[in-house]
């Protein structure tokens, strides 16, 4: 099968959205597929499609490209808002797949607690003037794209429910999880079992409101009350807040000495960074999936997360608390850190659980579904 992956942003393995495309494409290639990738630069736009009209310009560029070239491929994948145009504009026997790495439709229904920093305050103030109208426009574009796609590729079952609530036929929605690259998984699995003597609570991800940055000060304070001497590690925190000082400034002064912030790192550095980590937290309010959870689990770290789109695909109810449940999350972390048999059992389970999220197995299932949908297209 010949597959084209269209990317809204430059293709980089360190960006979550494009990392998915690259890694699933590599796995499909190993199955014998011919995979091609195109991003803004590949469409002659070196600077990308930014600005107020960026999405519209991108949609026109994708439309024009696929009108000319879709027939050259068996399947084309594109962003959830990329193609809000009538299906008949494009090659009838080419499978058109809309992929959601982070479903935009959730955002109008979820409130993210604000981070106490002037940059986040300014961002919230500016967004309040245009955010709701812009969100409605994007949602309309996403729904049109989904309605005209042959298949919708999502990574969690909460997305399926949300699409059903918007009138999208569940029969055209497929759930495919994500995996860890084999070499990273092997390196993380080789790490020694986490130690409980000097516990370190770890979070991997940008320090922003969606990922629970506004809840972390309270979570950290509560954990330290329950587990005196505990320390904290924030990996890959760089986002709207660029520096360690900015991130630490969001926490009470009495906590800062116990927090290590690593603004950015490479994938090769992750195993060494996790050597001292003991347990993971993931208080995100919405994810497509949540690579960071898999990474921490592969290192033998139990992870406690919010019951929100994404994490329940990997974690059972024992490791989930209601979204916004700061005290509940801290309590579960403390329960694990203060009970060694419970912790060791959870650590062992975490490493074994990661075996279910293998890119090659995911690629096999993806290819089978795409081939099945191609047969349906030919029969129309």
- Residues of the chain with pLDDT > 70, as a percent, come to 94
206 lies in the same domain as 61: no
Mean predicted confidence (pLDDT) in 275-280: 97
Question: pLDDT at position 120, please?
Answer: 53
C-beta separation of 154 from 288 below 8 A? yes
Q: Output the six-digit token pair for 76.
A: 């084309």
Query: Where is average pLDDT lowest: 49-58, 127-136, 196-205, 338-347?
Result: 127-136
152 lies in the same domain as 199: no
Per-residue pLDDT of 89-123, as tens digits, reads: 999 999 999 999 999 999 989 999 988 765 554 44
Under the banding of pLDDT at 50, 70 and 90, the label for residue 125 is very low
- Residues of the chain with pLDDT > 90, as a percent, come to 83
Mean predicted confidence (pLDDT) in 185-202: 96
100 lies in the same domain as 190: no
Q: Output the six-digit token pair for 112.
A: 């993210």
Mean predicted confidence (pLDDT) in 294-298: 98
Handedness of CA 98, 105, 121, 307 (dihedral sign): negative
What is the span of the domain harbouring residue 344? 182-356
Between 196 and 240, the more confident residue is 196
18 lies in the same domain as 142: yes
Under the banding of pLDDT at 50, 70 and 90, the label for residue 52 is low
326 lies in the same domain as 290: yes
Task: Compute the mean pLDDT over every residue in the chain, rounded to the nearest whole number.
Answer: 93
Question: Which of 11, 30, 31 is CA-nearest to residue 21?
Answer: 11
What CATH number has the domain bearing residue 169? 3.40.50.2000
Q: Output the six-digit token pair for 207.
A: 């320090």
Mean predicted confidence (pLDDT) in 302-323: 98
Q: Give the Cα separation of 131 and 95 in Å (integer).
A: 33
364: buried, middle or exposed (CB in 10 Å: 19+, 13-18, 0-12)? middle
Mean predicted confidence (pLDDT) in 204-233: 97
44 lies in the same domain as 168: yes
Backbone φ, ψ for residue 326 (5° rounding): -65, -45
Question: pLDDT at position 48, please?
Answer: 66
Residue 304 has pLDDT above 60, yes or no: yes
348 lies in the same domain as 199: yes
Query: Where is average pLDDT lowest: 56-65, 107-116, 264-273, 359-368?
Result: 107-116
Under the banding of pLDDT at 50, 70 and 90, the label for residue 9 is confident
155 lies in the same domain as 48: yes
Question: pLDDT at position 123, please?
Answer: 46
Question: pLDDT at position 359, please?
Answer: 96
Question: pLDDT at position 129, please?
Answer: 44
323 lies in the same domain as 369: no
Residue 280 has pLDDT above 50, yes or no: yes
Mean predicted confidence (pLDDT) in 140-150: 97
266 lies in the same domain as 349: yes
Under the banding of pLDDT at 50, 70 and 90, the label for residue 127 is very low
Q: Which residue has the tokens 């949300």?
A: 162
283 lies in the same domain as 163: no
Residue 47 has pLDDT above 60, yes or no: no
Mean predicted confidence (pLDDT) in 33-48: 84
Under the banding of pLDDT at 50, 70 and 90, the label for residue 256 is very high
353-357 contacts, C-beta under 8 A, 24 or more apart: 353/297, 353/314, 354/180, 354/185, 354/189, 354/294, 354/297, 354/298, 356/177, 357/177, 357/178, 357/179, 357/180, 357/294, 357/314
Residue 329 has pLDDT above 50, yes or no: yes
Residue 307 has pLDDT above 50, yes or no: yes
Question: pLDDT at position 11, please?
Answer: 87
Question: pLDDT at position 116, please?
Answer: 73
285 lies in the same domain as 312: yes
Total structural domains in the chain?
Answer: 2
């Amino acid at each position: 099968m010949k597959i084209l992956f269209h990317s809204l942003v430059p293709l980089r393995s360190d960006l979550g959205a494009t990392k998915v495309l690259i890694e699933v494409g590599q796995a499909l290639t190993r199955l014998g597929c011919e995979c091609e990738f195109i991003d803004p630069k590949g469409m002659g736009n070196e600077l990308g499609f930014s600005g107020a009209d960026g999405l519209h310009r991108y949609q026109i560029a994708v439309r024009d490209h696929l009108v000319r070239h879709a027939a050259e491929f068996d399947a084309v994948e594109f962003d959830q808002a990329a193609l809000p145009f009538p299906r008949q504009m494009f090659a009838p026997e080419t499978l058109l797949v809309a992929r959601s790495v982070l479903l935009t439709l959730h955002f109008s229904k979820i409130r993210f607690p604000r981070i106490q920093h002037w940059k986040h305050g300014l961002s919230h103030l500016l967004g309040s003037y245009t955010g709701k109208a812009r969100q409605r426009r994007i949602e309309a574009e996403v729904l049109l794209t989904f309605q005209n796609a042959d298949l919708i590729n999502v990574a969690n079952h909460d997305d399926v429910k949300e699409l059903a609530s918007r009138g999208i036929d569940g029969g055209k929605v497929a759930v495919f999880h994500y995996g860890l690259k084999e070499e990273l998984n092997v390196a993380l699995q080789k790490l020694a079992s986490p130690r409980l003597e000097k516990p370190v609570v770890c979070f991997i991800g940008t320090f922003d409101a969606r990922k629970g940055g506004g809840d972390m000060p309270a979570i950290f304070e509560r954990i330290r009350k329950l587990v005196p001497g505990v320390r904290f590690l924030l990996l890959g925190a760089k986002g709207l807040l660029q520096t360690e000082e900015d991130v630490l400034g969001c926490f009470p002064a009495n906590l800062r000495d116990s927090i290590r912030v690593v603004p950015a790192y490479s994938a090769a550095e992750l195993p060494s960074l996790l050597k001292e980590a003991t347990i993971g937290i993931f208080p995100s309010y919405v994810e497509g999936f949540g690579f960071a959870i898999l990474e921490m689990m592969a290192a033998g770290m139990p992870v406690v997360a919010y019951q929100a789109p994404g994490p329940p695909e990997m974690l059972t109810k024992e490791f989930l608390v209601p979204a916004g449940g700061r005290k509940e999350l801290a309590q579960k972390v403390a329960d694990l850190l203060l009970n060694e048999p419970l912790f060791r059992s959870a650590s062992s389970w975490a490493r074994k659980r990661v075996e279910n999220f293998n890119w090659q197995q995911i690629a096999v299932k993806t290819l089978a579904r795409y081939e099945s949908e191609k047969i349906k297209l030919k029969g129309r």
